[in-house]
Amino acid sequence: LGVPPQACIGIEDAQAGIDAINASGMRSVGIGAGLTGAQLLLPSTDSLTWPRLSAFWQNV
C-alpha cells in the first residue's frame, strides 16, 4: 500500500497481535479484557466507533 506504519492503526483482540502492532510502529487498539500495551483499550467492538478512532488518531 505504500503507507508508513506511523500512519496506520492496528486493531487486535489478542496479546500477540497487540505486540506485533506495537513492534511494527503502528498505533494499537486492543479489543477485550486482559490486553496490555495497547495505546487504546476498548471493552468490545461495540465501542469501536469512527468518532472514537478519530479522537484517538488526533490525540496520539
- Every domain of the chain and the residues it spans: 5-46
**Average of per-residue pLDDT values in the chain:** 96
Predicted local distance difference test score (pLDDT) of residue 9: 97
Torsion 33-34-35-40 (CA) sign:
positive
Residue 4 has phi, psi (to 5 degrees) of -70, 150
CA distance linking residue 10 with residue 28, whole number of Å: 5
> What local confidence, expressed as pLDDT, does residue 1 receive?
84
Res 10 pLDDT > 80: yes
pTM for this prediction:
0.91
pLDDT band at 26 (very low <50, low <70, confident <90, very high): very high
Measured distance CA(35)–CA(16) in Å, rounded: 9
| CB atoms near residue 27 (< 10 Å) | 20
| Confidence (pLDDT) at 13 | 98
